[in-house]
Amino acid sequence: MSTAGSGQNAGNESAGSASGTVLKKTFPHVDLDGHNLPPSPAPSSPHSGRRYAIATELVYTEGSDQYNASSVPIYQSATFKQTSGSGGGEYDYTRSGNPTRTHLERHLAKIMSAQRALVVSSGMAALDVITRLLRPGDEVVTGDDLYGGTNRLLKYLGTHGGIIVHHVDTTTPENVETVISSKTAMVLLETPTNPLIKVVDIPKIATIAHKENPNCIVAVDNTMMSPLLLNPLELGADVVYESGTKYLSGHHDLMAGVIAVNDTSLGERLYFPINASGCGLSPFDSWLLMRGVKTLKVRMEQQQSNAQLIAEFLESHGFKVRYPGLRSHPQYDLHHSMARGSGAVLSFETGDVGLSERIVESAKLWAISVSFGCVNSLISMPCRMSHASIDAKTRQERAMPEDLIRLCVGIEDPNDLIDDLRRALVQAGAVNVSLDDFQAVHPTNAATTN
């Protein structure tokens, strides 16, 4: 392992001023705590030059490959030769930086309206890196409807890390205002939330947080929308993160996490634990993610169009549907004031857990699976799968229906998806069939509630 890639603390108080001078020459980047910062390939500003439409930006990249490869090469190398005994090359050890990863990070920074993006081994690794900014005694304000993995990590930090976590209904900014204080170091948001599809007012909550504590970090999980439909950094967020496993990749053939910021000093603070822990994305996965990002628009447009048709189909037959593309969604206007689309994840209720189980198991085109964002359609019961790590008592307190079915819509023909869903509903006994139509056994056309 090269010295520059070690990430060890260079701040040795007993080393003396002479030693400190040597360290500064060897490691020109030293943070306030005395940590040497290994080579951290920072992107050129993504805002320089002409900005194209998002469809173009997703595909268009500029590289410096010596052979002008149209697809960025995979630098499948763990280490890089140096030109001198003191190192000094742009790259020395792939844990600290790799050309393929850097190319991806620069491209993601551009499409995420960020000054810097960082890629790691999974979406949860991204959140783990972000929470490394917290110290014992810090307080976190977050939602009461969260991805199960997020809830699990926050619970662990509360139990073992001395972090105080406040779960509130973030769809009402006043709830956030009630619990936020000068000790609030982070506000962690999802919108739309998973799986209840509730919408959070990012600009308003960011304003509340920064007014109470200017140093408070507002972090937003943007996995559900992707950069195609929403840019939280433009709405007041300090950090945006996503599971690259989902829409950015689009094929469920890799795991990745993305973090983006506009404050470059915050970017360096986030880079340090990535390098120290070694959770940076591998060269091959970086290449796969780069390839997936280029087709984000065509995939998402089809998925979103399919989701709208399926949501309307279910609602028209009496099911309670949660989807921001429906006018019945209580936060329809708020969502579309921030986002450029409704996404491709929806959930609906049947009124009976047994019915929901039979529907999920009767579907054929809809694969029973956790996760979302894939080109093929997925179906699941969150309380039994993705959110099973949240105990039943807590789920009840947070008004998470046990019969809830989540649909993650793919790019298949929408008529085939609807036909398969119709067959599953009938086979499960979830609808009353007449000569002309069918309706839910437990109909409720009422608008979704928070």
Name the residues annotated as catalytic.
95, 147, 221, 246
- Whether the CB-CB separation of 5 and 27 falls below 8 Å is answered with no
Which residue carries 């986002």 as its tokens?
339
Residue 206 tokens, joined: 């960011």
Beta bridge partners of 118: 259
Contacts of 247 (CB under 8 A, 6+ apart): 223, 226, 228, 296, 299, 300, 373
Distance of CA 94 to the CA centre of its chain: 24
- Quote the CA–CA distance of 155 and 161 in Å, as a whole number: 9
Q: Is 368 helix (H, G, I), strand (E, B) or coil?
A: strand
Beta bridge partners of 35: 9
Single-letter code of the amino acid located at 113:
S
Question: Is the N-terminal amide bond of 28 cis, ω within 30° of 0?
Answer: no
The interaxial angle of helices 99-111 and 283-293, nearest 10 deg, is: 30
Residue with tokens 């179906």: 379
Helix and strand counts by DSSP (H, E) for the chain: 15, 14
- 364/279 Cα distance (integer angstroms): 37
DSSP state of 381: -
For residue 106, CA distances in Å to 117, 190, 256, 383 come to: 7, 24, 16, 38
Distance of CA 351 to the CA centre of its chain: 30
Distance CA 149, CA 28 (A): 38
* 77: DSSP letter: -
Q: Are residues 90 and 75 in contact, defined by beta-carbon separation less than 8 angstroms?
A: no
Coil, strand or helix at 422: helix
Reduced to 3 states (helix: H, G, I; strand: E, B; else coil), residue 33 is coil
Give the pairing type, strands 345-349 and 320-322. Answer: antiparallel
Q: Which residue has the tokens 């709830």?
A: 175
